[in-house]
Amino acid sequence: GAGVSQSPSNKVTEKGKDVELRCDPISGHTALYWYRQSLGQGLEFLIYFQGNSAPDKSGLPSDRFSAERTGGSVSTLTIQRTQQEDSAVYLCASSLQGSEDAFFGQGTRLTVV
């Protein structure tokens, strides 16, 4: 596609449920990043993928958070047993390997009620 695509754009879930957030990067971009934007914490790094592997997952806040990437393309961020503090906008970005120019998607707004 022309840009980074994220789905769903909005997600409301009940506390304790699992959610999956999807990111479809720009074609050919082997580097993929997840960030979280929340009122209390601002914009924070979660995880980086190089191809299908994640050499840096230092920003994942707890073991309830996991992510995978398949075929060097689509990535899924999974949050298990959601809590209210997980409410945030989850942003995905991609770039060419070795480039400092990251292109961001529009984000998924997650609300845990």
Partner 1 sequence: AQSVTQLGSHVSVSEGALVLLRCNYSSSVPPYLFWYVQYPNQGLQLLLKYTTGATLVKGINGFEAEFKKSETSFHLTKPSAHMSDAAEYFCAVSVVPFSGGYNKLIFGAGTRLAVHP
Long-range pairs of 41-44 with CB within 8 A, sequence gap ≥ 24: 41/88, 43/91
Nearer to partner 1, 14 or 100 (CB): 100
Q: Is 12 in the site for partner 1 (CB under 8 A)?
A: no
Q: Does 31 bind partner 1 (CB under 8 A)?
A: yes
Please say which residue, 48 or 65, places its beta carbon nearer to partner 1: 48
Q: Between 19 and 47, name the residue whose CB sits nearer to partner 1.
A: 47
Q: Does residue number 7 form part of the binding site for partner 1 (CB under 8 A)? A: no
Q: Which residues pair with 33 in a beta bridge?
A: 48, 93
Q: How far is the CB of 93 from partner 1 (least distance, A)?
A: 8
Separation CA 55–CA 4 (nearest Å): 21
Q: 17 Cβ partners below 8 Å, 6+ apart?
A: 81, 82
Rule CB under 8 A: say whether 44 interacts with partner 1. Answer: yes
Q: Is the peptide bond before 55 cis (omega within 30 degrees of 0)?
A: no
The pairing of strands 108-112 and 10-13 is parallel
Question: Interface with partner 1 by CB under 8 A: which residues?
Answer: 4, 31, 33, 35, 42-45, 48, 50, 55-56, 91, 93, 95, 97-107
